[in-house]
Structure 1
Amino acid sequence: MRDYTYLNGARFSINNLFRSLRFDIDRLDMSWVDGEKPEFSRGLRVVDNDAVNTVTVDGEDADNLIYSLTYIFSKEDGQEAFRTATDNYLAVALETKNFLVTSQKKDPEGKSEVVEAVIH
């Protein structure tokens, strides 16, 4: 696997932070010379290998994603339980675009979202 990618013509280095059976979370860092700082220069990329979907997040969403991974890790016992909980969280987060695990609520029918079990 190469250790760089291109977004909007700019080259970013890739550092893998998390890998499960379904998802990869990579940190994207760009260095630039001369000219103005590009709008997107550092963030996270979430790759859903089952749905062949890639989402790039930065700013508050990236902060919420890292916070949520740390939160889930502190609540789960064992690597497999953490990976399962994280896969469930990321499936909901990518669908709703809500990357803060503690704010993922019940659906309109009143059923708990998959991730709510992690919170309790």
Structure 2
Amino acid sequence: MNLISCHILDSTFGKNASEIRVTLRSLNDNEQIFVTNATSDGRIKESFESQENQLFELNIASNDFLKECSNMDFSIIPDIPIKFMTKKQNSHYHFSVVFSPSSYSVISVVSDI
């Protein structure tokens, strides 16, 4: 069993991206693993199963979030796709994401559970 966590920050308004939609999908078999919304402090934490060298995409619905919370409709980035590969079981994959309508930055950390 693996763990994935993510902290998502909206740099346009300088706040946590509360309730932003996040989806995890296995790209090897095109299977959706989960869809969840971030907590009020912009975080998710979910467990998931994987094989070695399995490719995943964590997708953050940034444009939908900006439309809902601010009526913005000028982002040319519809979502934030983060592709990553699992290396072994019992790992914790953490992603810190900062975004605006025109850019995003991702920092990733992998550790043993």
Q: Higher Cα Rg: structure 1 or 2?
A: 1
Structure showing the higher strand proportion among its residues: 2
Q: Answer 1 or 2: higher relative contact order, Cα 8 Å, separation at least 6.
A: 2
Q: TM-score, normalised by structure 2?
A: 0.29
Structure showing the higher helix proportion among its residues: 1
